[in-house]
C-alpha cells in the first residue's frame, strides 16, 4: 500500500511509558529514536509534556514530563532524525513555561481529549499553534462517545481549531473494521483537515483497523515497536511498515530493536494480547481493571474476572 501522503508516528516511548511509569533510560530512548529514524519513520513521540508540580511522585521517569534538556540528550547525534512529538493532556501543562517552537527540541504537540472536553483541547492546541508547533487533537475513547456530541466535536475541531490533524483514538481496543469505516465517513462530513488513527490491540485488531483507516484515506498512523503500549498495546510498527510498501521505510532497524532490546524488555514488563485485556476490549471498557487484576494473585482467573466485570455492571 503506497501513498506518499501517509505519515507514520512511532508512539513506543509515549504509550509504552504507560507500562513502566515512563522510566526509560536516556540511552534506551536514544537507541529507539535512532532506530525509528533509520527506518524512515516520520514522527517519534517521546512522551508527555506534563507539569512536575502536578505529579510529584518521584517514581515517574523523565518521559512523563519531557523537559527540553532530556529530549535534547536523547536525540543528540542522530542525523536526519524523525520529527519529535510530545503529547499534552488538558490541564496538565504549564503553558507559561513552554518555549516557542523555534527554541524547542520538539516540533509537534498532540493534545489528548475526550469528546466532552474538546473545548479545552481546542484552546490548548491553538496556544501551541501560536507558538509555532505542528498540532493535533487526539479524540480519545471514541468507541464510547458516539452520540450527537461526537458530531459537534468534529465540527468544532474543523471550525475552531488550528490543529493540523484530528486523530480518532480507539483507546479501549473495542472497534472493528466496519466501525472504522463508519467513523471516518462520519468525520469527513465535518472535517477537511488530515485525519489520523491510533488503535489499541485488545482484540488483535489494531493492525487491521489501521489498514481500514488507510483504505479510507486516513494519512496519519500510529504504531509502536513490537506493539509496546498500555495494556494490550498498539498497532505494531513492524507490521505497518511492511504493509505500506513505501520505499522510504526500512523495517530492518526495527527488527534490530526488537531482537536486542524489546525481547528482553518484554520479560520485565507485560503488554500485548492477554485475555483480561481482550475481555475489556470486547466490553468496550477502560483496561484499568484488567491491569490491576494482572498484578494480583488471580492474574490467570479469566472466567472469574469476566463474571466479576459483567456482574459489576461495568459494561
Domains within the chain, CATH numbers bracketed: 7-268 (3.20.20.70), 275-311 (no CATH)
Digit-coded pLDDT (tens) for 285-296: 999 999 999 999
Residues with Cβ within 8 Å of 120's Cβ and at least 6 positions away in sequence, in order, are 90, 91, 113
Digit-coded pLDDT (tens) for 64-85: 999 999 999 999 999 999 999 9
Instruction: Give the pTM.
Output: 0.96
| Cβ pair 85, 43 in contact under 8 A | yes
pLDDT of residue 145: 87
Quote the distance between the C-alpha of residue 275 and its chain's center.
22
Digit-coded pLDDT (tens) for 208-218: 999 999 999 99
Phi, psi values for residue 35, rounded to 5°: -65, -45
Digit-coded pLDDT (tens) for 179-211: 999 999 999 999 999 999 999 999 999 999 999
What's the mean pLDDT in 23-43?
Answer: 98
Select from 228, 199, 229, 192 the least CA-distant residue to 213.
199
Parallel, antiparallel, or unpaired: how do β-strands 165-170 and 43-48 relate? unpaired
Confidence of residue 315 (pLDDT cuts 50, 70, 90): very low
Alpha-carbon distance of 24 to 21, in angstroms, equals 9
- Check whether 263 has a pLDDT greater than 70: yes
Task: List the end-to-end C-alpha distance of the chain, in Å, as a whole number.
Answer: 37
Phi, psi values for residue 176, rounded to 5°: -115, 170
Amino acid at each position: 500500500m503506497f501513498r506518499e501522503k501517509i505519515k507514520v508516528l512511532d508512539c513506543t516511548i509515549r504509550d509504552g511509558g504507560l507500562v513502566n511509569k515512563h522510566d526509560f533510560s536516556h540511552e534506551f530512548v536514544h537507541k529507539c529514536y535512532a532506530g525509528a529514524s533509520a527506518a524512515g519513520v516520520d514522527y517519534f513521540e517521546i512522551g508527555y509534556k506534563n507539569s512536575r508540580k502536578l505529579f510529584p511522585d518521584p517514581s515517574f521517569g523523565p518521559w512523563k514530563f519531557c523537559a527540553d534538556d532530556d529530549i535534547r540528550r536523547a536525540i543528540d547525534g542522530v542525523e536526519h532524525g524523525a520529527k519529535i512529538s510530545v503529547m499534552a493532556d488538558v490541564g496538565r501543562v504549564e503553558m507559561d513555561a513552554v518555549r516557542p517552537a523555534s527554541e524547542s527540541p520538539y516540533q509537534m504537540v498532540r493534545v489528548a481529549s475526550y469528546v466532552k472536553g474538546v473545548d479545552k483541547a481546542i484552546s490548548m492546541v491553538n496556544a501551541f499553534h501560536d507558538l509555532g508547533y505542528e498540532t493535533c487533537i487526539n479524540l480519545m475513547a471514541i468507541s464510547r462517545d458516539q452520540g450527537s456530541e461526537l458530531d459537534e466535536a468534529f465540527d468544532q475541531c474543523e471550525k475552531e481549531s488550528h490543529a493540523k490533524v484530528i486523530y480518532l483514538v480507539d483507546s479501549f481496543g473495542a472497534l472493528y473494521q466496519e466501525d472504522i469505516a463508519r467513523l471516518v465517513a462520519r468525520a469527513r462530513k465535518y472535517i477537511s483537515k488530515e485525519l489520523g488513527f491510533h488503535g489499541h490491540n485488545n482484540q488483535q485488531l489494531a493492525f487491521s483497523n489501521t489498514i481500514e483507516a488507510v483504505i479510507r484515506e486516513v494519512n496519519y498512523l500510529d504504531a509502536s515497536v513490537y506493539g509496546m503500549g498500555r495494556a494490550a498495546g498498539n498497532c505494531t510498527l513492524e507490521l505497518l511498515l511492511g504493509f505500506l510498501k513505501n520505499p522510504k521505510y526500512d523495517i530492518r532497524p526495527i527488527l534490530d530493536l526488537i531482537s536486542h532490546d524489546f525481547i528482553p524488555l518484554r520479560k520485565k514488563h507485560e503488554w500485548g494480547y492477554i485475555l483480561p485485556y481482550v475481555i475489556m476490549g470486547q466490553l468496550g471498557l477502560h483496561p484499568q481493571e484488567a491491569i490491576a487484576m494482572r498484578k494480583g494473585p488471580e492474574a490467570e482467573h479469566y472466567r472469574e474476572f469476566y463474571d466479576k466485570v459483567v456482574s459489576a455492571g461495568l459494561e
